Amino acid sequence: MLLLAVCHIASSQDLKLNDQEYFETQGFNVLVYNNLFTGGFNDEKTAGIELIHHGVRTAQGGAVRLSNTPEQWDLVPSIPTRKVNNASNSIESVLRYDDFDFESRVVVTAKGRGVEISVYLDQPVPTELEGSAGFNLEFLPSQYWAKTYLMDERINRFPRYVVGNTVTRPNTEKLKQYKGYETYDDRGTGEFIDVLPLETGRTLLLAPDEPERMVKITSRYADLMLFDGRVLAQNGWFVVRSLLPAGKTGKVLTWTVEPNAINNWVREPNIGFSQVGYLPSQEKVSVIELDKKAKPLEKASIHKIGEDGKTTEVFNGKIEPWGDYYKYHYVKFNFSSVNTPGIYYIMYGDTKTNNFIINKSVYDKITDATSDIWIPIHMNHMFVKEGYRVWHGEPFKDGYLQAPPNTDHFDLHEQGPTTDTEYEALELIPGLNVGGFFDAGDFDIETHSNISVVQNFVQTWESFKPLRDQTFVDQEARHVVLHRPDGTPDILQFIEHGTLNLVAQAEIIGHMAQTLSNSVLYNYHHLGDAASLTDGLPYNAELGPYEIAADGESSGVKDDMWAFTSRNPSLDLRAATVFAAASRALKGYNDDLSERALTQSKRLLKEATELLASQPQDSTGREWASVADISTNLQLYISTEEQQYKDKFQELLWPALDRNVSFVILTALHGIPHMEASYKERLRPYVVKYNEYIAGLEEDNPYGVPIGLGNWAGSGFIVNFGTTISFANEHFPDIIDANHAYKATDWLFGNHPYHNYSLVATVGAARPKEVFYGNNRADFSFIPGNVAPGILFRKPDHFENYDDWPFLWGQNEGTIGGNTSYLIFGSAFKNLVIKKRLDI
């Protein structure tokens, strides 16, 4: 009866291949290897056969896999060929595992309202993969938990929190090769965990109680098994799987996947606007994202909420068309004439937004949560407390061991054929466990990120002198307390904390480490208190596993962090830049550290320049090295006033601007206060050229900002864009219009595709995002002040940002580099607001 009740909702429209090379009908899309598995993090849950169901990507990972519940670092297939056949309404791809010389062909063919997925083998499944190779399709837990499912008419419910049964079995050489077993076996049990299916059968009906998520899967030749992938990893999905038969060739597996597509379904309008609000006198433009089948309305309206709680329409205006941008159609609604302070909402047809504020103070606190909470929580090697809560104890008292030569790391780092240091493999490098910031959702110190962080702090300090003091920092006691002033501007203490680690690297190692990171995978993906990630005792090879030395000073636990020390002169050059800048900021506060930083800046500049001159560089490497060299010489000139650095800065700058003005214009603008008047005039034509780039953005997309289309969403581009606009307008107000900076804040605070939530956690917004990818992501929570990477582009035309599933880092992970970039943008933006007399 339940099936019959839903069947009448289904659309009669058949799936068809469109010109974007995926299957489409109104309300449902099937992407077939439009997005491929990566060779970096393997299974990022963003590839394979993907289902976009009533506007939400609800399933992915469709492929032949070697595990019931694949984890992030499990092997993934390469896709050497993909053929689209319009005549047969099908897409065929080859999937290959080089490790096992194993190939399969997956053919997806439109069949009425659904697709048929067939797996073909020209050679039988390799013996070592029998019972492991199968076809998987993974469904997003947050879209299915608490909903029902039927397996062969047996009724069950998807669990909100992971439940399920497991068994253990002995480790084998096969598993060592396939799973990278040693990195998973955290207590040396010699056993491997298998997840057992929740249900098994031939017909699976998902969510018959939710028409927008209902999908029917039927298997012709093999049982369907339903697994809860969250048993082994919090970022696991619900997995539907069928094993491939042993000893068979030809068509060995066939599934029919039939979604429910609601008849005449049209996606609700996404009304973009700033959740933080607007200044009375600023331009106010809502970008409204529409289904292409929706007929745009002629008008929208603004309603004011009075002190008595009653609402009044105060403005209605015409909708202006913009056009199509990828999957959707866009129109604009300009309500700039609404300038009376108050509480408002937008109405577009029957769609009503949540409220927003118009007031002169809406931007006052846009950086406070980031500087007061997110940044100090990410201070490494410190005990961090907030009220009754301990965010983390003091991590990594055991220090850092020298990474062994020829080591590939699971976070894309590599130790070369030598250590490039005086230390032997796995020897303790003393003195590195000081200062520095956790990179992001993990606990490593990414040196390049920490360099950017300190540079952002210094630029913010020197440009705007923020005296905010809301954090107690005691370096000697290694203790941090939030919301407790200690008499010193927080940003000076942040500069000191970051510089301490970077200078320690330069002095102790002799150059900059790539990273200070985890040695084994089981503690790299640790979710919890950073202080519990290791046992706090240096590893002693003379002890047995998990044995503690009699003096209590070492242990046999291989959990220590490693220093990856292969020398990169471009990284040294960037460090020289930040050391020169930090030396100025620290003068008069920590003079010893200031002098040490300046000494290392000069040394690294000389050595890195010589090394780069002797090494071949590709064009990208030369460009990055050139920009670093430009910045280093500018910072050293500002610190020392020595003519040699000024001359070198200008020698390198102008050719770089000729090559790519947007790549280096911000550095050029930072030089204006320290150069003669002729420098600014010589820079003017490049600012004009940058303004032409800005104008091009207005034609490129309806938001007028640079939108990233890679596997990391584009908030960073937009923050950098807003920062550049703010500084360029300060120096060239006749060329660069300040209004462009407001487009950046509008985007960050809700005027963007997919949804209209603020991408900044907790900032004065009526509806900020509620989940982020941080080290507390298992709690489906956030760290206040976090800035999400944002709206992630999935090829060929889908934007998304999950706010009910934190585990996709490309759209939800705030980084220390990105959040400190937001800090300088917010500071520059508030300064712009003041200078333009928009009454903050």
Q: Based on the fold, state whether residues 397 and 509 are members of the same structural domain.
A: yes
Q: Residue with structure tokens 């220390």?
A: 816
Angle between helices 739-748 and 715-731 (to 10 degrees): 160
Lowest mean pLDDT among 143-157, 255-269, 621-635: 621-635
Lowest mean pLDDT among 176-190, 214-228, 239-253: 176-190
Q: Based on the fold, state whether residues 483 and 528 are members of the same structural domain.
A: yes
Say if residues 420 and 567 touch (Cβ distance below 8 Å): yes
**Angle value at C-alpha 822, between 816 and 824, nearest 5 degrees:** 105
Give 190's pLDDT tier (boundaries 50, 70, 90): low
Tokens found for residue 385: 């407390």
Give 73's pLDDT tier (boundaries 50, 70, 90): confident
> Distance (Å, rounded) from C-alpha 542 to C-alpha 674?
58
> Distance (Å, rounded) from C-alpha 201 to C-alpha 203?
6
* pLDDT score of 180 more than 50: no
Give 408's pLDDT tier (boundaries 50, 70, 90): confident
Mean of the per-residue pLDDT values of the chain: 93
Helix (H, G, I), strand (E, B), or coil: what is residue 278? Answer: strand
> Distance (Å, rounded) from C-alpha 820 to C-alpha 826?
10
* pLDDT score of 413 more than 90: no
* pLDDT score of 824 more than 70: yes
* pLDDT score of 179 more than 70: no
- pLDDT score of 546: 87
Q: Which long-range contacts (CB under 8 A, 24 or more apart) does 618-623 make?
A: 621/570, 623/656, 623/659, 623/660, 623/663
Domain membership flag for residue 765: no
> Distance (Å, rounded) from C-alpha 57 to C-alpha 808?
12
Domain membership flag for residue 252: yes
Q: Based on the fold, state whether residues 253 and 280 are members of the same structural domain.
A: no
Q: C-alpha distances in angstroms, 836 versus 137, 189, 342, 727, 830?
A: 54, 66, 22, 13, 10
Q: Based on the fold, state whether residues 313 and 281 are members of the same structural domain.
A: yes
> Distance (Å, rounded) from C-alpha 160 to C-alpha 148?
11
Give 524's pLDDT tier (boundaries 50, 70, 90): confident
> Distance (Å, rounded) from C-alpha 263 to C-alpha 265?
5
For the full predicted model, state whether its pTM sits above 0.85: yes
| Helix H or strand E segment including 306 | none
Q: Residue with structure tokens 């471009």?
A: 570
Give 728's pLDDT tier (boundaries 50, 70, 90): very high
Say if residues 221 and 253 touch (Cβ distance below 8 Å): yes
Helix (H, G, I), strand (E, B), or coil: what is residue 371? Answer: helix
Please identify, among 521, 538, 567, the residue that sits at the C-terminal boundary of a domain. 567
Domain membership flag for residue 475: yes
Task: Give tens-digit pLDDT for 704-717.
Answer: 999 999 989 999 99
* pLDDT score of 470 more than 70: yes
- pLDDT score of 2: 46
Which residues are CB-neighbours of 293 under 8 A, at least 6 positions away? 26, 266
Taken as a whole, the chain contains a residue count of 840
Give 692's pLDDT tier (boundaries 50, 70, 90): very high
Q: Identify the DSSP state of 54.
A: T
- pLDDT score of 412: 84
Q: Identify the DSSP state of 752.
A: S
Q: Based on the fold, state whether residues 348 and 442 are members of the same structural domain.
A: no
Which residues are CB-neighbours of 383 under 8 A, at least 6 positions away? 390, 392, 393, 394, 478, 479, 480, 531
Q: Based on the fold, state whether residues 348 and 436 are members of the same structural domain.
A: no
Tokens found for residue 664: 């280096």
* pLDDT score of 173 more than 60: no
Domain membership flag for residue 711: no
Lowest mean pLDDT among 10-19, 114-123, 778-787, 792-801: 10-19
Domain membership flag for residue 323: yes
* pLDDT score of 576 more than 80: yes
Mean per-residue pLDDT, 416-437:
96
Provide the β-strand partners of residue 347: 301, 352
* pLDDT score of 777 more than 90: yes
Helix (H, G, I), strand (E, B), or coil: what is residue 256? Answer: strand
Say if residues 432 and 508 touch (Cβ distance below 8 Å): yes
Number of domains, the chain: 3
Domain membership flag for residue 600: no
> Distance (Å, rounded) from C-alpha 712 to C-alpha 719?
14
Q: Based on the fold, state whether residues 194 and 93 are members of the same structural domain.
A: yes
- pLDDT score of 725: 98
Tokens found for residue 817: 């580099």
Which residues are CB-neighbours of 627 under 8 A, at least 6 positions away? 656, 663, 664, 667
Q: Based on the fold, state whether residues 179 and 298 are members of the same structural domain.
A: no
Say if residues 791 and 325 touch (Cβ distance below 8 Å): no
> Residue 215: which CATH number?
2.70.98
- pLDDT score of 545: 86
Please identify, among 316, 336, 358, the residue that sits at the C-terminal boundary of a domain. 358
> Residue 289: which CATH number?
2.60.40.10
> Distance (Å, rounded) from C-alpha 603 to C-alpha 288?
54
> Distance (Å, rounded) from C-alpha 616 to C-alpha 619?
10
Say if residues 816 and 439 touch (Cβ distance below 8 Å): yes
Q: Based on the fold, state whether residues 68 and 127 are members of the same structural domain.
A: yes
Q: What are phi and psi of 670, to 5 degrees?
A: -65, -20
- pLDDT score of 618: 67
Residue 497: closest CA among 394, 410, 582, 609 = 582
- pLDDT score of 624: 58
Q: Based on the fold, state whether residues 251 and 283 are members of the same structural domain.
A: no
- pLDDT score of 835: 78
CB atoms within 10 A of CB 108: 24
**Angle value at C-alpha 235, between 229 and 237, nearest 5 degrees:** 40
The upper half-sphere exposure of residue 129, i.e. CA atoms within 13 Å in the direction of its Cβ, equals 27
- Domain limits for position 61: 2-259
Please identify, among 552, 567, 582, the residue that sits at the C-terminal boundary of a domain. 567
CB atoms within 10 A of CB 98: 10
Q: Based on the fold, state whether residues 71 and 41 are members of the same structural domain.
A: yes
Q: Based on the fold, state whether residues 71 and 212 are members of the same structural domain.
A: yes
Percent pLDDT > 90 in the chain is 87
Which residues are CB-neighbours of 464 under 8 A, at least 6 positions away? 827, 828, 831
Task: Give tens-digit pLDDT for 588-626.
Answer: 999 999 999 999 999 999 999 999 888 876 665 566 566
Tokens found for residue 294: 């929706």
Residue 363: closest CA among 783, 758, 745, 780 = 745
Mean per-residue pLDDT, 707-734:
96
* Sign for the pseudo-dihedral over CA of 752, 755, 756, 761: negative
Percent pLDDT > 70 in the chain is 94
Domain membership flag for residue 212: yes
Give 554's pLDDT tier (boundaries 50, 70, 90): very high
Provide the β-strand partners of residue 200: 225
Give 189's pLDDT tier (boundaries 50, 70, 90): low
Mean per-residue pLDDT, 97-108:
97
Domain membership flag for residue 518: yes
Task: Give tens-digit pLDDT for 26-51.
Answer: 999 999 999 999 877 889 999 999 99
